[in-house]
A and B are shown apart, each in its own frame.
Chain A
Amino acid sequence: METTNTVQSSPAWGTLLGKIGFNPAGILCVFLLMALPFIPPFNQEYLLRWLIYAAFIATLSVGFDFTSGYINIVNFGYAAVAGYGGYTSALLAVNLNISPWIGIFIGGANAAVLGLIIGMISLRLRGIFAACLSWFFGLALMGLATKLVWLTRGPLGLRTPRMFETESNIPFYYLIIVLLILTYVICKMVVNSKMGLAFKAIGQNMDAARTSGINPVFYRVFNFTLSCALAGILGGFYGHYYGILTPEVMHTTKTVEVLAVAYIGGRGSLWGGAVVAFPFIFLMEIIRSTLSHLPGLNLVIYALMLILVMIYYPGGFSHFFDVHIRQSKNKILRILTGNA
């Protein structure tokens, strides 16, 4: 085996980056995202809106993958949890005049409580039934948001103050990118610690995990709590960006959207969904806006991709990346991906 150490320019930086889950290519991606609003054609407002939406889905998919990719339980009410956080923050802003900047964190905390509850009550259930339980939870939440009209104004939508008093999308874009990076770093640091190992063990074989001294109760509940907290914060961002919240954000189809991105990106990688979300949402939006006489075509392609990936390439994009790019013969590619 060749182990060349010629390019270890700054090992301290390298290990620090590695700890928070970045390699040179990742850093490059971040810089690209940072610069994107100034590169034509992305400097147009409507494209920026797409970018923000893509980053929103990307961030959600990181939080989603944190549960489904590690402890192997699909949180089918994920969008509903995000919506719950969003509504918390919006209601606080509307009724008590609390600044959205504080509100989204209260929303996150509130969603964390919800995650704690879902984690606790689904504890004894096997994966698929835990998924059902969280789905029913989501349905019930959406039903409440629709029917508690005096509180949420139901399907009419709750008007919320935006986080920046400006028509420009750029501040929102940077905010969501920061949220994306923070979410990724938090999740990555958790799974890189001893906890990540325990998560994987629980996800693969509950019995084996238990007999080797891992307490599944704590890890499962912790995992749910953290991923729901992240969803809650994101829901708050969503509400305060679009300025209106309807129960539609909590709909199962939103969860499915996040799920598809996370799985096409590669389960258990965290970054796969985040990377895939951008080209993907763009493709969908382009199809939707250019072929508007064919409504639903974008989602047909979406579903086909999910099905094909599930059957023929279950590793998703991250697996492709690991096999063909990280271990490629090309040295530059290896250095870029931190595999030198």
Chain B
Amino acid sequence: MLLEIKELDAGYGYLQILRKVSLNVDKGEYVCIVGPNGAGKSTTMKTIAGLISPMAGSITFNGEEITGLPAYQITQKGIAFVSEEMNLFVNMSVQENLLMGAYIIRDKNVQKERLEFVFDLFPRLAERKTQLAGTMSGGERKMLAIGRGMMSDPTLMLVDEPSFGLAPQLTASVFESLEVLRKTGVTIMLVEQNVTTTLSITDRGYVLENGKVGLEGKSSDLLNDAYVKKVFLGV
């Protein structure tokens, strides 16, 4: 088991959002969390990434307890988080942004290798190396955010709403790039509102509702599940 979450409670201040969420991710899997707005999908991701400290429960990664660790230590353990807002460094160039992604790697040569790897993956970013991140289009920024996440050579990538605010064809290209990533052997955990697409590309899924795990199972099964069909797909 790569990531194991047991009975996680989390929220903002006094506002509790997650109630006893338990989920796990195996090595090499492509797992998604779907659910309606406000179900606590992003909160789950942020809690794993260490941006929110949990109220109760435990998170183990690679057999190591990481509950409540600050975000920078979690990144050092090998979890990369691509947030919904992307949190790019807008006044830095594309290349600088990517190099910042490799902040935890001190070896200059490894940094270079990673940079080449990401440029291979996203040739578009290589073309725009010197452009400031703040001046790029939405789709390119998403790409950059994912690329920056890749720079730290993570074992697990948390990707939060990559399709948010993107035109359909761009969404497709973002999903394609995730597919490419997956082939390189990275474990991916994806949060999406776009239920059909997500369930059709991932291995396994969790349905989150009102801060609780409602359903879980193989993505293909979930896609055919009567409840999911009724609630999310309106069939």
* Chains A and B share a contact (CB less than 8 Å): no
Give me the interface of B with A, judged by CB distance under 8 Å.
none
Give me the interface of A with B, judged by CB distance under 8 Å.
none
